[in-house]
Amino acid sequence: QPCWREYLTTRIEQNMVVNCTCPISECHAQPTTAFIYSIVSSEEIIAKYEKALLRRYVECCSNLTWCTNPQGCDQILLKDGLGYGAACSKCSWISCFNCNFPEAHYPASCSHMSHMTCAKCNHGFCWRCLKPWRPNHKDYYNCSAMVSKAAWQEKRFQDYNERCTFHHHAREFAISLRNSISSIREMPKIRNLTFVLDACKVLEQARKVLAYSCVYSYYNQDTESMDIVEQQTESLELLTNAL
């Protein structure tokens, strides 16, 4: 039971409990809610587990969504029957449920918020990613208007540069954390913290890979291979953040 408690607690804290299975690799059974309640006694951990269940429920319901207030709001909204004038009952923020724009944008349509057309060559492109206006958005924006092309290049550089800088700072944090733990290990009567040091080293290496993958992605123009690279990078970033 202590092993199960530690395993489930770790999964809950990492927001990975909803799809977790038995720790034995050959067993794919998932622990039930009743089982988790019987094993985990911490009220704080149980509260996190219930929040994870709620998030999963909202994600699975096509007519439910979270309030999109960028300042933060945990209110659940019902999409059906809501018009442009409907606001969150908790924070009064008016959301758009038809696109990724964070707030209602009436009278502009959702298409207006992202679909732009070059005045020189009539090339349609997405304002968010600056790529051709297609459902899959897989091709790079290739407009002959120098002003628009310069704006795209500047935005693309800023996006990758910000991501790269973030991972470099996170890597420095991992190094600082490892140094702090190393000094703690030297104190008497402190249990062995080798596993934490190993985790910091892995974290440091992952941040380094993520930082330089931004440089690789910026200079790589092969859109087909970049789809795979971006997927792998996103997966690594999610796991690194969890670590």
Average pLDDT over residues 189-217: 82
Higher pLDDT, 187 or 184: 184
pLDDT of residue 137: 47
Percent of the chain topping pLDDT 70: 70
Arithmetic mean of pLDDT over the chain:
76
Whether 74 contacts 66, CB under 8 Å: yes
Q: What tokens appear for 4 in the block?
A: 């199960």
The pLDDT tens digits for 126-147 are 655 566 665 554 443 343 444 4
Identify whether the C-beta of residue 131 lies closer than 8 Å to the C-beta of residue 139.
yes
pLDDT mean over 106-128? 61
Would you mind telling me the total number of residues written for the chain in this entry?
243
CA–CA dist 178, 185 (Å, integer): 11
User: Would the pLDDT of 220 be above 70?
Assistant: yes
pLDDT higher for 213 or 105? Answer: 213
Range name among 37-41, 125-129, 181-185, 225-229 with the lowest pLDDT average: 125-129
Taking residue 95's Cβ as centre, other Cβ atoms within 10 Å add up to 22
Tokens of residue 48, six digits: 């996190």
Q: 22: Cβ–Cβ under 8 A, 6 or more apart, which residues?
A: 28, 29, 30, 31
Q: Which residue has the higher pLDDT, 100 or 229?
A: 229
pLDDT in the model for residue 203: 92
Residues 33-75 pLDDT 10s:
899 889 888 889 899 888 888 888 888 887 788 887 877 788 8
pLDDT score, position 30: 86
Hey, what amino acid is at 4? W
Which comes out higher in pLDDT, residue 145 or 205? 205
Over pLDDT 90: what percentage of the chain?
3
Mean pLDDT of 212-238: 79
* 60's tokens: 């699975």
- Name the 3-class secondary structure at 137: coil
Q: How far from the centroid of its chain's Cα atoms is residue 153's Cα?
A: 24
Say what the pTM is: 0.41
Q: What is the DSSP letter of 19?
A: T
Distance CA 241, CA 97 (A): 28
Strand ranges in the chain using DSSP code E only, listed in sequence order: 64-66, 76-78, 115-117, 124-126
Select from 54, 39, 42, 56 the least CA-distant residue to 13: 42
Distances (CA, A) of 83 to 72, 95, 111: 22, 10, 17
Alpha carbon distance 52, 2 (integer Å): 22
* Model confidence pLDDT, tens digit, residues 2-17: 888 888 888 888 878 7
Confidence at 222, pLDDT banded by 50, 70, 90: low
**Residue spans of alpha helices (H) in the chain:** 2-13, 33-39, 43-60, 146-185, 194-219, 223-242
Q: Which helix (H) or strand (E) holds 155?
A: helix 146-185
Per-residue model confidence (pLDDT) at position 20: 83
Q: What is the distance between the alpha carbons of residues 185 and 99, in angstroms, rounded to a whole number?
A: 51
Q: What is the pLDDT of residue 141?
A: 39
